[in-house]
Amino acid sequence: MSLRTPVIAVFDIGKTNKKVFLWNTAFQIVFEKQQNFTEIADEDGFACEDLSALQQWIVSTFTELCQMPEFELIGLNFSAYGASFVYVDRTGEPVAPLYNYLKPVSSPFPYSDFGGEEEFARKTASPILGNLNSGLQVYGSTFKPFWPEVFTALHFPNYLASLFTGKFLSEITSIGCHTALWDFDKGQYHAWVSFIEDKLAPISSAASLEIDGIKYGLGLHDSSAALVPYLRSISADFVLLSTGTWCIAMHPFNGSPLTSTELANDVLCFLQPNGKPVKASRLFGGHFHEEQVARMEKHFGGSFKDLKFSDGVYELNPRASSVFECAFASRDLNDFPDLASAYDQFMVDLVGQQIFSLNLLLKDAPVKQLLVDGGFSKNEWYMRLLARAFPEIEVYAAEVAQASALGAALLVYEGETPKNLIQLKRY
């Protein structure tokens, strides 16, 4: 009888931090490791991922994991940032750098041929975001000298999976994350993709491949992966509000087509692993918080971390604003007697923006629960103000360890989903 612990390995590849986790079948982390890499430059001198170094680390680390006597590997998957393509030749070797999605677009796209920018953005559920619309990267690459060498173009998570499966396959979550590739009206590639479709890896109908007794996932877009543990664990309709530098609210139960108003207010759509759309709204909330806290602390002294929540916050009125601008930025700090009163007003203004952003998702598709994870889930002002703004919804602070990696692990596991994956605290 083997005493080795069955485990699923997941490489969780962010822009800054690269991590690997081993999950046992109770979905507890039994091993983790982190690595950072210095960026290199592409042929134009723009910073990009050191794909060769990353690939070497992943392959060598996987070899180490397989040699650990206490573990038996039963699955492998990847969660990674989207909006990035790897171009490979017939042997699977990259023929170009992994271009940075923040790099300015070099080749203009003929939006006018497809109804103009507004209609194109609506059909593809992708606000016009330059190279963050990663399909346009592939379009631009058709003008590059390396293009004739390209056998296939793979989304970054799918490329990482191909290192182990030897298969060049696409999966739906990477296709459906503001790539401008997918026609959400028709549930298929947009008509313009015919220009490049012969270079795109075919879409897999399966979420994983079994090779020598190990389940290999195809890789997942990290935001879509983070939603999986909630979909597996929560039975009621919900919105997941994932907070950090960006506060991204994901509504997996709102399947209505995007409107021009929603697009103008930074609402887009992702695709779930099952191919269903997830309408999502974005707010630069964590960035606004960091920026304005620094301004207040410089003006008043002290630290916002020493402040205590009081019910007087409920008597303050938010300043109307858009989702793109922090209303508090235009307030005069001399109007406040101290840091506490300024911070109270700031959080009222910030949550006012968040409420506006959430209502874009909820107005035609109400839910029973609002689940908040990430940094703001521990902020009393944020949580209590949200709960007061939505009395008809159960508002919870949610905590789940490494949600993106956990979601990727769950997708290559055939057993029952363990209970208590997510810890909830109601406000």
Three-class SS string for 77-114? Answer: EEEECCCCEEEECCCCCECCCECCCCCCCCCCCCHHHH
pLDDT band at 245 (very low <50, low <70, confident <90, very high): confident
- CA gyration radius, the chain: 22
Find out whether 423 and 245 touch, Cβ atoms under 8 Å: no
- Could you give the percent of the chain with pLDDT greater than 70? 100
Look up residue 177 and give its amino acid.
Answer: C
Please say if the pLDDT value at position 252 is more than 60. Answer: yes
pLDDT digits (tens, 9 = 90+) for 35-79: 999 999 999 999 999 999 999 999 999 999 999 999 999 999 999
Two domains, one topology: 5-218 and 231-427: yes
Phi then psi for 170, rounded to 5 degrees? Answer: -100, 155
| β-pairing verdict for 277-283 and 267-271 | antiparallel
Phi then psi for 390, rounded to 5 degrees? Answer: -125, 70
Residue 168: closest CA among 97, 94, 99? 94
CATH number of 231-427: 3.30.420.40
Six-digit token string for 122: 């609506």
For the segment 126-150, the average pLDDT, to the nearest whole number, is: 94
Domain 5-218 belongs to what topology?
Answer: Nucleotidyltransferase; domain 5 (3.30.420)
Q: Taking the model in full, what pTM does it have?
A: 0.86
pLDDT digits (tens, 9 = 90+) for 197-218: 999 999 998 889 999 999 999 9
Q: Tell me, what's the pLDDT at 374?
A: 86
Q: Tell me, what's the pLDDT at 337?
A: 97
Please say if the pLDDT value at position 258 is more than 90. Answer: no
pLDDT band at 344 (very low <50, low <70, confident <90, very high): very high
Q: Tell me, what's the pLDDT at 320?
A: 75
State how far the Cα of 221 lies from the Cα of 231, in Å rounded to an integer: 16
Q: Tell me, what's the pLDDT at 2?
A: 60
Six-digit token string for 167: 């298969």
Q: Tell me, what's the pLDDT at 189?
A: 97
Alpha-carbon torsion (326, 327, 330, 335), positive or negative: negative
Neighbours of 278 (CB within 10 A): 25
Neighbours of 56 (CB within 10 A): 11
Distances (CA, A) of 3 to 22, 69, 87: 16, 9, 42
State how far the Cα of 49 lies from the Cα of 96, in Å rounded to an integer: 11
- The domains of the chain are located at 5-218, 231-427
pLDDT band at 340 (very low <50, low <70, confident <90, very high): very high
Please say if the pLDDT value at position 321 is more than 80. Answer: no
Please say if the pLDDT value at position 1 is more than 70. Answer: no
Q: Tell me, what's the pLDDT at 244?
A: 84
